[in-house]
Chains A and B, each alone.
Chain A
C-alpha cells in the first residue's frame, strides 16, 4: 500500500479547480438575467451552511471516508445502500464531465470529429492519474492553480474595454424571485458538488479543525473567481446573449481585442476548462472507485479503475442524443436530482453522526 496523503494547501487548490473548471465554460444561474452576479453571491451564502455540514461530517470522524461513516452511522445494510447511491452520484457526475469534454471539443474546435475520440483520450488519461493516486492529483493541482488564476485575471483585465456597465441595469427589475431561482441553480451546479470531497478527504495530513479551513477557503476563493468570470460574461455579452449561447465565456473572450494585436484568445478558456475539468473528472472518478471498493469490502481501489472508467465512457456516450438535450437536462433536471445528495442526505448523516459520536464519547469517560 502506498501512503495517500495530501497537504492542506493541495486540498484547497483541488476544491478551487474542481469548482472553477467546468463552470468556467458554462455560466449557470442565467435565470436571474441582469442580476446574475447577485445570484452568484446568494448561492455562495446558501453554500456556507451546506459546506459547514460536509466539513463537520469529516471532522467528527477524522481519517474516515463518507462510506466508512455511513456504515458506522446506519449499520451494515442501510449504510451500504446509501453508499451505493453516493457511488452512483459520483459516477454519474464524472460521466457528465466526460460528456462536457466531448461536447466542448466537438462544438468549438473540431465539428467533423466523432465525439468518442476526445472522450476516449480523456478517459485514458483519467485511468492513469487515478491509478497513481490522490497524491498525484494534489501535485498536479499545486502546479496549475496559480497558472489558471493568473490566466483568468489577465483575460478579465484585458476584457475591460469591451465591457458595458449598462448590461447590469436595471437592478432587480423582475424582483427577487428570479435571483433566488438562479442562486438555486448555481448552488446545485458548482458549489453543492463539493459534497464529493467528503468521500476522498480522509487523506488530509493534519487532523482537527483544518477541515473547516480547507472547505471554507476553497469555497470562498472559488466563489470569488466564479463571481468575477460570470460577471465578466454578463458585462461583455449582455444577459440575452449569455442565455443564448452554449459556452458564454468562449464567446466573451473571442471579443477580446487589444490594439488589433492581442486577439483570438479563446484558447485561454479552453486551457482553463481542460485542466479544471480534468481535475473534476479525476476527483469524481476517484470517489466512485473508492466507494465501490469500500462497499464491496476490498482494501485497494486500483484494480477496479479501468472497467469503471470504461463503463463511464459508455454512459457518457449514450446519456443524451445531442448537445441541446444535454444542456436542457443539466439545467432543468440536475438541480432537483442533485438536491437530495447535496443537502437532504448530508443533513441526516450529520445528525446521526453527532448523536452516535456523543454516545461513544460518553462510554469512554
Chain B
C-alpha cells in the first residue's frame, strides 16, 4: 500500500514542481512543497495503519464546552 502512495506522490510532485520551476516561481515552490510534504506524511501514516487524531473530536469538545449540551 505505502509503495503506491510513494509512487502517486512522486509523480504528482515531480510533474507539478517541474512546471513551477519552468516559470521560476520560487515562493510558490516553497509553499507547494510544504503542503505536499504535510499531505504525504499524513498519507504515509494512514497507509501504515497509524490512527491519526481527528479534528472532529476536538471541535466537538470545544462546541459542547461552550454550548453545554450533549
Question: Interface on A for B, CB 8 Å cutoff?
Answer: 92, 296, 298, 303-304, 306-308, 310-311, 313-315, 317-320, 329, 333, 336-337
Chain B contacts to A: CB under 8 angstroms? 9, 12, 16, 20, 25, 27-28, 31-32, 35-36, 38-39, 42-43, 46, 52, 54-56, 59-60, 63-64, 66-67
Whether A314 contacts B63 by the Cβ 8 Å rule is no
Which single residue of chain B is at the shortest CB-CB distance from A330?
Answer: B56
Query: Do B43 and A314 touch (CB < 8 A)?
Result: yes
- Residue in A closest to B53 when the chains form the complex, CB atoms: A318
B42 touches which one: A92, A296, A314, A320 (CB < 8 A)? A314
CB distance from A180 to the nearest CB of B (A): 15
Query: B28–A318 contact, CB under 8 A?
Result: no
Chain A residues lying within 8 Å of B31, measured Cβ to Cβ, are 296, 298, 303-304
Point out the residues of chain B lying under 8 angstroms from A320, CB to CB: 54, 56
Q: How far is the CA of A363 from the CA of B66 in the complex (A)?
A: 42
Q: A310-B43, A318-B42 are in contact. Are A333 and B16 (CB under 8 A)?
A: no
How many pairs of A and B residues are in contact by the CB < 8 Å rule?
Answer: 62
* Residue from A307, A329, A337 within 8 A of B36 (CB atoms): A307
**Smallest CB–CB gap between B53 and chain A, Å?**
8
Q: For B36, list chain A residues within 8 Å (CB).
A: 306-307, 310
Say how far A300's CB is from chain B's closest CB, in angstroms. Answer: 9
- Given A298-B28, A314-B43, A333-B59, the answer on whether A308 and B52 have CB atoms closer than 8 Å is no
Complex Cα gap A317–B46 (Å): 9
* Docked CA distance A304–B36 (Å): 9
A181 CB to closest chain B CB, in angstroms? 12
Q: Which residues does chain B contribute within 8 Å of A317, judged by CB atoms?
A: 46
Contacts of A303 in B (CB 8 A): 16, 20, 25, 28, 31-32
Given known contacts A303-B32, A329-B60, is B54 in contact with A318 (CB within 8 Å)? yes
